């Protein structure tokens, strides 16, 4: 036997090109790029097969998240996009994988466990989704610089056709949006001066001259809801606690017709500069920008505040082009974020005596940042209550909070959804509306009742030895000096 045969050379087996290229496309789609463009411009993959499978992955994203989470596949395959594609091919596709590379063999070894996890979910996989093209291009007209009639004349000159229709139901409107062709647009069902264009128009508006001049704001509908629901009248005083980049702040200024006062606070210097640029570009003259930590802002710094908008830093889990990259909750980060959100909302409710209405919103779909923050604040501060946000929209909305898990909260708060089953054709979003009133809310009363019951049961318990009540109550204990809380959660 020759020496060559005695010492064979083992070569690394590469992942098949189809899988590598499809995983690369999956990653680029998660960053907001067009699925169709990526697939059709790639010469190394099977177009029909790849589009079908990537559609299926997007349609079953949550299921895949749960299924993969029950294994340690991601610990063995660092490229999560490759792992996701291989798992989807195995359990949603052909049921088998090609080749003998290490990632392929790894996923193949989990075949039975993955199938069992799929059965445990009790849900049949969806066949496809239109997530990559279903969110249209929303364009908010800046009425401080341009009238609606002027904007529509401009669109007509540019070759756009306006669909004029009075929709009786919200579902009729959504169906019309889904069926928009590449040359048509319409007005939004809820938000005044918000236009809806087809997804194919996104490149057009990205380089549009009027958008560059601040006359058009490229703002998702869900992001317009907080200002719309706050609805401050002309000449009122508003505090926007976390203002940058300024879309919601300038929306408020337009709603108020530049009459009144808006204090716009942003702590981060870079984001503050962006806020200043936007307020100047949009001619929002009633906005006074403040480069400070809003937790240090007191009533005397922003006198006579009546309305507060709070859209704090959050996980961003509702944003469509992040949905594939955030496949697992970062519980540690959520804990820190919800702590900051609680401090900010509590500050809004306590520190400004003239406030009558507060809107709290996030671009998150996680209840830890939404219902739980609102419930915690209402339990602590009694003289605020939730307003039914759906009623403000004349009950013409599809998605609300979870009333079963958060009774008294869920039915009163809104979610905007990009889920296929109940889509609002927007990014994911959460909005709660709170108002000050003379009574005490149910969550505060329940907490006080619980405290009283606990005190009655344990606070005056006699000791078996002395028979005295609370023998240590007069023994003074040294008071620990509290450390000043440092805000490290701003993004």
First CA to last CA distance, the chain: 66
Do residues 244 and 274 touch, judged by C-beta distance below 8 A?
yes
Identified catalytic residue from 106, 363, 377, 489: 363
| Distance of alpha carbon 423 from alpha carbon 170, whole angstroms | 11
Nearest to 26 by CA among 120, 132, 159: 132
Is 244 annotated for ligand binding?
Answer: yes
311 annotated as belonging to a binding site for a ligand:
yes
SS percent in the chain: helix, strand, coil, step 5? 45, 10, 45
Query: For 415, what's the count of Cα atoms within 13 Å in the CB-facing half-sphere?
Result: 24
> 3-class secondary structure for 419-465?
CHHHCCCCCCEEEEEEEECCCCCHHHHHHHHHHHHHHHHHHCCECCC
- 197: its two tokens: 């264009």
Phi, psi at residue 237, to the nearest 5°? -115, 125
323: Cβ–Cβ under 8 A, 6 or more apart, which residues? 30, 61, 131, 317, 418, 428
How many whole angstroms from its chain centre is CA 261? 28
Residues 6+ apart with CB under 8 A from 14: 20, 101
Is 242 assigned to a binding site? yes
CB 204 within 8 A of CB 275: no
**Contact assessment for residue 309 and residue 238, using Cβ atoms and an 8 Å cutoff:** yes
- Determine whether 363 is an active site residue: yes
Q: Measured between alpha carbons, how far is 259 from 220 in angstroms, rounded to an integer?
A: 25
CB atoms within 10 A of CB 249: 29
Euclidean distance between CA atoms 315 and 11, whole angstroms: 43
| Integer Cα distance of 36 and 293 in angstroms | 43
**Distance separating alpha carbons of residues 251 and 140, to the nearest angstrom:** 8
Does the annotation flag 266 for ligand binding?
A: yes
Query: Is 106 assigned to a binding site?
Result: no
DSSP string, 207-245: T-HHHHTTSEE---HHHHHHHHHH-PPTT-EEEESS-TT
Cβ contacts of 423 within 8 Å, gap of 6 or more: 134, 174, 417
Residues in binding site for S-adenosyl-L-methionine: 242-248, 266, 293, 311
Residues in binding site: 242-248, 266, 293, 311
Q: Which residues are catalytic?
A: 363
């Amino acid at each position: 036997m020759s020496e060559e045969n005695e010492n064979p050379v083992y070569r690394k087996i590469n992942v098949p090109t189809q899988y590598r290229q499809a995983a690369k496309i999956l990653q680029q789609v998660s960053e907001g790029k067009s699925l169709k463009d990526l697939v059709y411009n790639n010469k190394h993959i099977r177009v029909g097969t790849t589009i079908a499978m990537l559609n299926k992955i997007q349609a079953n994203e949550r299921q895949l998240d749960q299924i993969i989470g029950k294994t340690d596949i991601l610990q063995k395959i660092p490229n999560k996009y490759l792992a996701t594609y291989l798992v989807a091919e195995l359990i949603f596709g052909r049921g088998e994988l090609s080749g003998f590379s290490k990632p392929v063999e790894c996923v193949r070894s989990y075949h039975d466990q993955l199938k069992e996890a799929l059965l445990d979910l009790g849900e049949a996989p969806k066949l496809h989704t239109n997530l990559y093209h279903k969110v249209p291009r929303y364009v908010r007209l800046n009425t401080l610089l341009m009238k609606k009639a002027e904007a529509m004349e401009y669109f007509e000159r540019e070759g756009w056709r306006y669909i004029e229709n009075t929709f009786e139901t919200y579902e009729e409107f959504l169906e019309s949006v889904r069926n928009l062709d590449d040359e048509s647009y319409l007005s939004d069902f809820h938000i005044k001066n918000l236009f809806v264009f087809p997804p194919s128009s996104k490149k057009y508006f990205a380089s549009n001259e009027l958008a560059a001049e601040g006359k058009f704001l490229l703002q998702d509908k869900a992001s317009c809801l907080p200002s719309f629901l706050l609805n401050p009248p002309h000449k009122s005083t508003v505090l926007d606690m976390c203002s940058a980049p300024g879309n919601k702040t300038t929306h408020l200024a337009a709603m108020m017709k530049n009459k009144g006062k808006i204090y716009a606070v942003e702590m981060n210097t870079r984001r503050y500069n962006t806020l200043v640029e936007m307020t100047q570009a949009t001619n929002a003259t009633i906005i006074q920008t403040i480069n400070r930590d809003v937790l240090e802002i007191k009533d005397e710094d922003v006198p006579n505040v009546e309305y507060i908008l709070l859209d704090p830093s959050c996980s961003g889990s509702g944003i469509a082009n992040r949905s594939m990259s955030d496949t697992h909750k970062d519980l540690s980060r959520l804990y820190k974020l919800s702590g900051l959100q609680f401090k900010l909302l509590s500050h809004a409710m306590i520190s400004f005596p003239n406030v009558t209405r507060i809107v709290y919103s996030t671009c998150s779909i996680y209840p830890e940042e939404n219902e739980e923050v609102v419930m915690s604040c209402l339990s602590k501060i009694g003289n605020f209550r939730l307003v039914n946000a759906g009623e403000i929209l004349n009950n013409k909305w599809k998605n609300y909070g979870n009333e079963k898990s958060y009774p008294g909260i869920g039915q009163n708060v809104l979610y905007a959804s990009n889920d296929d089953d109940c889509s609002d054709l927007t990014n994911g979003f959460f909005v709660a509306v709170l108002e000050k009133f003379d009574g005490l809310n149910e969550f505060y009363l329940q907490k006080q009742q619980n405290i009283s019951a606990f005190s009655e049961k344990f606070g005056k318990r006699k000791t078996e030895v002395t028979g005295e009540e609370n023998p240590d109550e007069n023994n003074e204990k040294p008071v620990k000096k509290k450390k000043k809380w440092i805000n490290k959660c701003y993004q």
